[in-house]
Structure formats: C-alpha cells, structure tokens
Chain A
C-alpha cells in the first residue's frame, strides 16, 4: 500500500536529557529520512537542530540513528520503514541539541596520527612522483572515507564501553592504514597502533564495515592488515628480525 503519511519520532533534547517527540509528515515519492526531518523543521518545529549539508551521501554530516541503527539520513528511504520510524542522535558522542552531536573528539584523534611523511629523497626531488596503479589502488579505498563517523558510532568499544581514551576507533584505523600502506610514506606507525591507537581493543565484530556508506571494507582491508603489521613487530620474533634486516627497516619511527 502506498504511504501517504509518516509517523516520525525525533529525539528532542540536549546534554541534560530529552525524549522522542512524534510528528506526522506527509510523504512524497522518493522521500528520504532527511527530507522528513527537514519538513518537520520547516513546518512544525523551527527550533529542531539537525546537521546536514550535501544531501548526496558525500559530506558525512547527517549521521544519525534510525530505529536505533547508525545511518545517513540522506541515504535512507523512508519506505524501508513502513510508515513509522524514529530518529535519534549518534549514541557514541555527546549530544549538543536534538540530532546534533559533538564529534570533535574524532578530529582530535586525527591530529594524533602522524601525517603523510615521504622520504627525504622524495621530498627533495624535483621530479614528479611516479606510482603504479597497483600500488595506490589499495589506499584509494581508504580515501573514500567521508568522515560521517558512523563506524565510530557503531563500534561497541566506543559506543557501549566508552573507551575513547584507549581505542581511537575504526575511522582512525582507516586513516592510519591509508598512510601506513602508502608506497611513498616512510613512517612506522606500528608503535602507535599498539599504544595510543589501541588496535588490540578491536575484536573484529565487523559492525564498522556493515554501516560504512562508502562500503569501505574497514575490518578486512584496514584493521586486520594493521593488526597483522603490529604482530610482525610485537608477536612474531622471526618476522620482526627479518623486517629489521629487510625492507621494513627503512621505516622511520614516529615521534
């Protein structure tokens, strides 16, 4: 049966607390959850706080929890929910107001990751760098990240256990992987992985991969390969020795 109206529950409140409030929204063809929320803001609750920008699933701003599950509002058709759904703010981050959360912790974590560091030779070279497609395509997957932080939100280490001081989360792992596997980067971030980044807290539940709107294989292509790289140094004495004698010794330790 074609939907004519939507029973939309939106969490209203701030850091002190809040509750779900129901709104009845007329349905248009092709409507997504963000359309419905913006309709409420325009017609029924002008003080409703919602963060959004591109409405094309590319800016990563409209992350929320739809029926309790982390999704982008702009990429979620309402007809998946049969005329009734709830929208709430991301659980893993402090609420500012209504659907807007404070995600600044993710940017702080990002600053703690040593940036791209080429070799002195590459840095001083006047020639353009040449890289084969096969060398860059692996890290290109990680560059698709739109920083919606849905992976951070769904990660049970951050969401249920609130271990933000111990584990930097899947988004940080994707960024570290994009640098660590870059053919022109020479910095060794494996001590960071074992230490401050806390990769050992990840127990491979794969929820981050499940929610990623860019379909990045976060667990299989970023976290697990990084765990294996950490194991090379800290859990495999033979490989550790071989790496020290071989190519990996060119990696410089991060400060």
Chain B
C-alpha cells in the first residue's frame, strides 16, 4: 500500500478552512444575492406604484396593486390595498427564511460563520415577534384574492361580449398563482387541519384532514408559488401600465 506519514499541521489552520454545501452546486452567496436583488427591485417598483401612481385601469383590466379599486380624495388607490399582501409576504414563513438569510445573514447560508453583531434574539423581540400574526395577514389577503378573481373574470368581458386578450390571460395566470401561494400558506395549513391531533375522530375532522392534505400539496412548493406570483403581480401591472401609456397594443380575440 502506498502510505505516507502525516504531514505537518497547518500552522494557522482554523477548525473549518472552508464550508462546502454538498447539497448545492451553487456558491453560498448566490441565493442571498438573488433575493436581495429581486426583492429590492420589486420593493422599489411597488413603492413607486403604490405611492406615486394613481391610474392602474385599462378596460377591462385592473392592476393587482389596485384591487379592489378604492378612490378617496388625492390618496393613491394602491395605498388602501397594498398593505395586505405586503404584510402577508413580510410575515410569510418562506420569505422569512429568504430575508433573514439575505438581508441579515442569519445565516447567510447553512453552516457558514455569521458576522458578529448585536445579540441574536430571533423572533422573540420587536419587530420580528409580529411574524406570529401571519394568519391575520392571511385573512386580509384572502379577501383581496376574492376581488382578484372577480377582476380576472371581468377581464374576459369586452363591452358585454366574451373575449380573450393577452391582459385577460395575464390576469388569470396572476390570480391562479396568487391563489396557489395564498392557500398553500403554512398558517392556512394549520387552520385547515394542522391543529388537530386526531384526524379521524369526527366527520368534521375527517373533512379537515382532506383539506389539510390538499393544502399540504400546495405548501410543499410554497417558495416557488411565492416567486412566481410575485413575478406575475409585477408583470401584470407593468403590462397594464404599458397599455395605458400606449406603448403596447393588447392583442384580443372577441366573440
């Protein structure tokens, strides 16, 4: 056997010279960098739409930022609506992982060293303790999703005639993805049946078990629903805004 004796110890070697995640071929910094860029871009865009824009309706399409449409004085309509999905996403269990890793480095990636700083208290202190109210944001978002379904159906109504435009398809895709994201939420999974200890003990419990299993199917890919729906919310709004500006022409097929 070709053996060799132990070589000299590495003089300044730390206990862990490097961390390589065996479950990912991507470098440790890529995911947090992606999240920072994507969420920052969306955040800036959302602030611009909600606080500085007053128009988001191009018949029969209504921007998801403005649904339901509430116009009171000079206040932009998005202000009345956008807080619900904003709080829902801020307190969402997936986004918590994403922003804690990316913006705060808690942890940036699994097993990597964390930067020294103030004492870590997790979600036990302000403001993170408010993440425990995620279910209330879920309730508010469900109301908005109902309005978005109404808007998506209206988007196929072209002056009393059924039709399909590119905007109709976008709005339908948006509300489908938002529904998948909203109803795959961990809080809803708990409310649907996760809080039960016995799934077979009553008729109601058996029905809730079926619902819980259905929500679990959506919940497994909660991160993908989250990103896909974020993309379609921005994409639908941008499309309607480009129609309003006359930059694009909406291709339609009307009966």
Contact of B110 among A134, A205, A228 (CB under 8 A): A205
Q: Quick one: closest A residue to B1, CB to CB?
A: A26
Cα A182 to Cα B197 in complex, Å, equals 6
The reply on A74 being an interface residue by CB < 8 A is: no
A22 touching B21, Cβ below 8 Å: no
Which residues, 1 to 58 on A, are CB-close (under 8 Å) to B? 5, 9, 11-12, 18-24, 26, 43-45
User: What DSSP secondary structure best describes chain B's contact surface?
Assistant: loop
Least Cβ–Cβ distance between B222 and chain A, in angstroms: 8
Interface centre among B18, B100, B124 (most CB of A within 10 A): B124
Interface centre among A80, A156, A227, A235 (most CB of B within 10 A): A156
Known: A19-B13, A69-B21. A154 touches B111 (CB 8 A): yes
Known: A207-B110, A210-B110. A229 touches B195 (CB 8 A): yes
The reply on A183 being an interface residue by CB < 8 A is: yes
Known: A132-B199, A135-B199, A203-B96. A91 touches B122 (CB 8 A): no
Contact of B122 among A86, A167, A206, A207 (CB under 8 A): A167
Which residues, 101 to 155 on B, are CB-close (under 8 Å) to A? 101, 106-107, 110-111, 113-114, 119-124, 128-129, 132-136
Cα A191 to Cα B135 in complex, Å, equals 20
CB-defined contacts of A18 to chain B, threshold 8 Å: 15
Cα A200 to Cα B126 in complex, Å, equals 12
CB-defined contacts of A24 to chain B, threshold 8 Å: 2-4
A204 touching B93, Cβ below 8 Å: yes
Least Cβ–Cβ distance between A138 and chain B, in angstroms: 8
User: What DSSP secondary structure best describes chain A's contact surface?
Assistant: mixed
Which residues, 192 to 241 on A, are CB-close (under 8 Å) to B? 198, 200-207, 210-211, 220, 224-225, 227-232, 234-236
Cα A70 to Cα B114 in complex, Å, equals 16
Q: Which residues of B are at the interface with A, using a C-beta cutoff of 8 A? A: 1-7, 9-10, 13, 15-23, 93, 96-97, 100-101, 106-107, 110-111, 113-114, 119-124, 128-129, 132-136, 186-187, 189-190, 194-195, 197-201, 209, 219-220
21 A-B residue pairings within 8 Å (CB atoms): A21-B9, A24-B3, A26-B3, A67-B18, A68-B20, A69-B20, A154-B111, A159-B111, A160-B107, A160-B113, A201-B122, A203-B96, A203-B123, A204-B96, A205-B97, A205-B110, A210-B110, A220-B220, A228-B135, A228-B187, A231-B134
Q: Which residues of A are at the interface with B, using a C-beta cutoff of 8 A? A: 5, 9, 11-12, 18-24, 26, 43-45, 65-71, 76, 80, 86, 88-89, 91, 132, 134-135, 154, 156-157, 159-161, 163, 167, 180-183, 185, 198, 200-207, 210-211, 220, 224-225, 227-232, 234-236, 248
